[in-house]
Amino acid sequence: MKIGILGSGVVGQVLANGFIKHGHEVSVGTRSPEKLADWKSKAGKSGRVGSFADTARFGDLVVLAVKGTAAKETLRLAGAESLKGKIVIDTTNPIADAPPDKGVLKYFTSLENSLMEQLQAAYPAARFVKAFNSVGNAFMVNPDFAGLKPTMFICGNDADAKKEVSTILELFGFEVEDMGGVEAARAIEPLCILWCIPGFLRNQWTHAFKLLKK
């Protein structure tokens, strides 16, 4: 598959490498392609770099991996036409431009209106699936937790899109929990706040969530 990754930060690069490792062709989108010269030289012929618009056009599947405050602007630059009908894996968290309060991140959204709901409403023809937002980038691709698979919580309105994303997540070493429609992003996005607390308080960043079930 051709994967268009909107975002050149650590998440964009880690997921780009993960998709290449699993046999896909990847384009990474950025406002400054020159920033990724080093990544591109290491990625070989399966990796390319372009604008957000080029990258969205290139992808059969699109991954949104930009700063939460830039998510809307990035999709505007990507262009609605290029997102039409495509799966958009949304890795973003709506972290506000304010410091954490005693280790608790601040969000610019509310518990009644998540970022992914806003993005889905703005681009109704795109098929958003929330994923990868509740784990650190070091554990996004085939993480090693001594044989235990971490849980990836996902949600979105399109059942086929979630099925396809689940297959990818299983390949990337996760067990998948489908939490329902886009509204569930109100619960999945704040998992990042919880994930980061041990990091900010005790410099512990090497964990992942697992849902225990009977």
Q: What is the C-alpha to C-alpha distance for residues 214 and 212, in angstroms, rounded to an integer? A: 7
Q: Closest CB to ligand NAP among 159 and 194?
A: 194
Measure the CA–CA gap between 19 and 5, rounded to whole angstroms: 10
Q: Measured from the CB atom, is 37 or 160 closer to ligand NAP?
A: 37
Q: How far is the CB of 56 from ligand NAP (least distance, A)?
A: 13
Q: Which stretch binds ligand NAP (CB under 6 A): 16-24, 68-76, 153-161, 167-175?
A: 68-76
By CB under 6 A, is residue 32 in contact with ligand NAP? Answer: yes
Which long-range contacts does 24-30 make (Cβ < 8 Å, 24+ apart)? Answer: 25/1, 26/2, 27/2, 27/3, 27/54, 27/55, 27/58, 27/59, 28/55, 29/4, 29/5, 29/53, 29/54, 29/55, 29/56, 29/74, 29/78
88, 182 in Cβ contact below 8 A?
no
* Range 116-175, binding ligand NAP (CB under 6 A): 133, 136-137
Residue 31 engages ligand NAP in binding (rule: CB under 6 A):
yes
Q: Which residues pair with 50 in a beta bridge?
A: 29
Amino acid at 83: L
Q: Is 193 in the site for ligand NAP (CB under 6 A)?
A: no
208 touches ligand NAP (CB under 6 A): no
CB of 11 to ligand NAP, least distance (A): 3
Q: Does 109 bind ligand NAP (CB under 6 A)?
A: no
Q: Which of 141, 165, 171 is nearest to 153 (CA)?
A: 165
90: enclosing H helix or E strand: strand 87-90
Q: Which is nearer to ligand NAP, 40 or 67 (CB)?
A: 67
Token match 């899109």: residue? 161
Does the footprint of ligand NAP cover residue 21 (CB under 6 A)?
A: no
Name the residue number minimizing CB distance to ligand NAP.
9
> Which residue from 181, 171, 86, 81 is spatially nearest to 130, judged by alpha carbons?
181
> Residues binding ligand NAP: what is the number (CB under 6 A)?
23
92 versus 151: smaller Cβ distance to ligand NAP: 92
Binding site for ligand NAP (CB under 6 A): 7-12, 30-32, 65-68, 70, 73-74, 91-93, 95, 133, 136-137
